[in-house]
Structure 1
Amino acid sequence: MLVDLLMVSPESARAETAQCRRPYVRLQWSATNVHVVYLEALRDLSMTERYARGVAALVHMYDQLNNASMSHNRQLGGYITLLQCWIYEHFPSVADSTADQEYDEDSPRSCRWIATKKTVKSIRTPAYRDRLDRLRIPDVCWIPYGEHREVRDFHVRSCYSGLLRWGPVAIYYRPERIVWQFGYTQIIPDPSVDSWVSYDDIHDRWMHYEDHIVPACEVCVVPGACSSDYMDWFFRISHPFMTSGHTLDPLPHGHAPQP
């Protein structure tokens, strides 16, 4: 693909992938490595306007987050701006961030934030973990995009539950675990069923997403509301702390579950 689509020599292609130690190429304007499989998506440029770019970005980021969660991994690839801005929006007390005072809602939401390498590197990992451990439900901004809905409306497709695929990568997308981010009261989700399906089935389900929508819950009266049994369930099945050395005794119900 490097030879056919980028018209580089076989020697250059081999040298680049050897440098990256995997089938990746380096972007000269950033520190990001891009998997060569995504070149296939650009083979026919007349088709690119039909791509579900949001799905592609989400699948790639979920896949990278899965890899980064492994203890032996120290890097995270993908569309990090999406994750970074999501953190700024939902956890204002966790990350040091600066909002652009001249931002207007007609611009992409990510333009709201100003981040520099100095800001990002100013807090070490233990400090971030400690801040996450101290989070309480009132510290989380559950629905931060309300004023942006006039520009980008909420689409029911976001409540699709199932597998998403981009190229050879497929991930599970389960919005039933985070319905309070959609303005609904969080309830205990049904147990996960990890039944694998073919790529054709994934495509068919996505094209008929309206048949795979998470059932609507009660609309939240108070942001971040959950059912009376949800927090007890959450602390039974999850790890409530990030910082090593903490006990696993349940926190008071005012604390927020970590994503």
Structure 2
Amino acid sequence: MASRYSCLGIAGCLTLLQCWIYEYFPCFRPHRERHVIGPGYPRSMLWNVRCEDKSTAQLQSIRRRLDMLQASEVDWMPYRTDPSKDVPRMLMFDCIRYRDIVEPYMPDRSLHQLGHVQVVPMDILSHEFAMRPGTPVNKYNVKHSSAFADWAWRNFPYSTVLHLQNYDVAMDPGKSAPDYLLWYTHHSHPRLLRDSQTSSHHGGPD
């Protein structure tokens, strides 16, 4: 869609798109050499991109290069045969945003379903202010506290990643950390009881 003549713009994670291009199309990779990164770092940090001159002539050159591109010039398997073996199991830990909806996504609250020992989860990610439905979508805004924003920027991208190797694998289904049940009892409802009127119609409480 973005390559069509009538298209005037493109939206989305363009950094991810750029890195995808560099991996699959060597002819469009940056002129500088790759960086050497350690385990756990984002793969996109391999690329050291410098600012290129933007001109009509350069755009036409890139288009001609695309028209002449051969299948042999494409790296069809840039991550090799099984890239999952080199990537530790991790999940996103952040707020999911879509138009006028913002919901915290906190997988550390469902470690049981992931086969790990459930621990006391982190505090819920909450914002100070958000314009909800009924306001123009283009004016929608979410504001976090200055302390949270500062912490998130200083720790990005690691603040938005939950590494599952940091949690013990549950040998028994439903296994929890010693302090989890105490936390759960205090923050949730371990028992559900009928009210007195409903119970009287059913012969008393269960």
TM superposition score normalised by structure 2? 0.36
Larger Rg: 2
More helix by share: 1
